[in-house]
Amino acid sequence: MAWTIAKHIENVITKAEHFLQDVKIIQHDEDIQRAIIALEGKWQNYRVVIQEIHRVDGTIRYAYCLLNEANKQLYRFDNSGDRLAIKLRYKADWKKYQHAEIPHQHDPDNQVTLTNAAMTFEDFLMWLSNKME
């Protein structure tokens, strides 16, 4: 295999198992042009769901989600082609960038705000520790 992401994915799983409880791997696949890791676990009374899709060109589609006991999403950090995020970034030109991957976050009040840079799983765990402790 010309490209491998195995080490990174192994690292994500190790970190998840260290920081979260009841970790369940939802998806894990490594292919020649892309790889996916999706898992969920408990952090205190919260449900944490994460997903990373790595492409051979080095780009990553990610989502790190925090849900409460009632399974309501509180926070989510992702770079999906969210229409609100694209409008925030490109304003009147947003239609030209309809599938652009824009790092952003969703707050409990459904507000979407742009983030300065793409988030990693490590960043998310750091945020979780700082914000929710």
Residues that bind other proteins (CB under 8 A): 26-27, 29, 31-34, 36, 38, 49, 51, 53, 61, 63, 65, 67, 71-73, 80
- Placement of tokens 């996916």 in the chain: 36
Which candidate, 57, 93, 96, 59, places its Cα nearest to that of 79? 59
8 Å CB contact between 24 and 131: no
| Least distance between other proteins and beta carbon 51 (Å) | 5
| Least distance between other proteins and beta carbon 27 (Å) | 5
Cβ neighbours of residue 124 under 8 Å, at least 6 residues apart?
A: 50, 64, 77
| Least distance between other proteins and beta carbon 63 (Å) | 6
The nearer residue to other proteins, 29 or 122, going by C-beta atoms, is 29
Residue 17, helix vs strand vs coil: helix
The nearer residue to other proteins, 23 or 38, going by C-beta atoms, is 38
| Least distance between other proteins and beta carbon 42 (Å) | 15
